[in-house]
Structure 1
């Protein structure tokens, strides 16, 4: 049987095999390089995130934990004193008062944030609403303002002797309210300002979640004669459960850590009646130069926040299983 020869003396079959082998080698090399590139790129981004997390979160947290067992005052060398700071903290009535006021503020703030954000989101996603683009910008503007600046602005608006609100009340024949010297009114003012400033972000979360609700469900319920309230209660609201959980969790943590706005608004006054836990830590650490004691209070706050987050996650998981 004869074999066809090529110009260089090789058979056609041999030449074809050599050509295929060369092509195979040429194809495999780029695959190895691309696979290596696809592995290195995510690792690089993850490494940057890990370094930043360790530098700005893990290391300060570990340092604060160490300071909580020392008598560090901000200068000099800290001396280890064991659990004395925690023992003094347990016996400090001011700490319990501040912690109770913080819990009260959180219990009042979370529902207000949730209702305001959800209500505005429902209005801005309604097909009957007009000027929604302008309304979104107006409602989102407070989120762009610094909490300190917001506190100063509202302080001028609600000042007892020079505030615009009391001026308008007196202009119509009423008597100006004691926004600064009445503890209850001061707390109400804090709730108003915090709701005004914190609604925008939660509103965006709800708008995105509402747009993902299948319209076929709502149309089928409308055909069956369900009212708008029934459609919202039995269809929209249950489908918003994951977003609601996130909003409640973030608002709870943010309320427990409220500081800048309150500090600029009334400084936790009158006196210390509206001083929250973070303000207590700030005054103890920087004004009294007792960094060790303030670090112990910070560790207690961290444990409380972790417990709250775990309880909420457990509750949400139980609802999902149900």
Structure 2
């Protein structure tokens, strides 16, 4: 029997090959992610960074929508900070935001809690009804509420006359007009916040609520002590988005009452619209827009900082 020589050992793989393969895989995934993010980045540049940069440039000029703009430096900002109408619009915007955001938050939270409850009957139909405002534009929302609260032709005043009450001055009374705007804004923003709250409520472990129920906690106690604290991240997002949305509300109010009666309820975005398009002061309106953008950024940073300090 002839002895055979042992086979030579297989060559060992280079030590750097696994690291090279992992690096290639990481680059491939990064390239795929970049390809998918490219359309969003292009849209962001075209519809946000581009207009923002153009508005910033116009804010230092006397551009009126035609002709060649001339550089005026800080003149638009100095004129803006000396304009009492600008401060009035900021005050009304702050008042609208301070009232509408908490009201909309509590209303949406209550509706969401009722819709996810097992004891609620007809929850599916109710979800469709409350989701309806999201399907229509803010302009349509304003028109609907204008028809409902019209002084001479509105449904609400008609119902008041049927029960023997006097028609309310929904359009000529500044406080009542602002109340209608708050109700309309809360109604229009219910759907999106409702979806966020319902998703968060359904993700809360039922074991927490069952344990509290066994300990004798009622439904209100369980909601206040367990459910509501677990909704803090969602609550922060709803309040943040609601605040930013209220600060730049325009289309719904413009269709509802145009900031009336008179200029008593003109918000800051309507102020920008009137000066920029009705008075052809594009440069001045751009300066007001930049100030509003800074205010919104500060609000977002303060709310984010406040939320992080609570979590720490």
Query: TM class by shorter-chain length?
Result: over 0.9
Given candidates 164, 179, 202, the residue that maps to 1:188 is 179
Match of 2:192 in 1: 201
Match of 1:73 in 2: 64
Match of 2:271 in 1: 280
Q: Secondary structure at the match of 1:225?
A: coil
Match of 1:56 in 2: 47
Residue 214 (str. 1) matches residue 202 (str. 2): no
Shift of 1:257: 0.5
Shift of 1:302: 0.6
Match of 1:26 in 2: none
- Structure 1: gaps (5+ residues): 5-11, 22-29
Match of 2:17 in 1: none
Of stretches 213-222 and 82-91 in structure 1, the one that deviates more from structure 2 is: 213-222
- Structure 2: gaps (5+ residues): 14-20
Given candidates 212, 217, 222, the residue that maps to 1:226 is 217
Please show how residues 14-53 of structure 1 align to structure 2 within 5 Å.
Answer: 37-53=28-44
Please show how residues 150-169 of structure 1 align to structure 2 within 5 Å.
Answer: 150-169=141-160
Shift of 1:163: 1.1
Shift of 1:125: 0.8
Given candidates 247, 263, 277, the residue that maps to 2:238 is 247
Tell me the TM-score normalized by structure 2.
Answer: 0.93
Match of 2:94 in 1: 103
Cα distance, 1:308–1:33 mapped onto 2, change above 3 Å: closer
Distance 2:61 2:281 in 1: 10
Note the alpha carbon deviations across 1:252-296, whole angstroms, 9 max, x for none. 000000000000000000000000000000011000000000000
Radius of gyration: which is bigger? Answer: 1
Q: Secondary structure at the match of 1:289?
A: coil
Distance 2:217 2:10 in 1: 73
Residue 140 (str. 1) matches residue 131 (str. 2): yes
- Root mean square deviation, CA, Å: 2.3
Note the alpha carbon deviations across 1:170-214, whole angstroms, 9 max, x for none. 122111111111101100000111111111110110001111111
Match of 1:3 in 2: 4
Match of 2:310 in 1: 319
Shift of 1:40: 2.4
**Paired residues, what number?**
308
Note the alpha carbon deviations across 1:73-107, whole angstroms, 9 max, x for none. 01111111000001001110000111100000000
Distance 2:307 2:250 in 1: 28
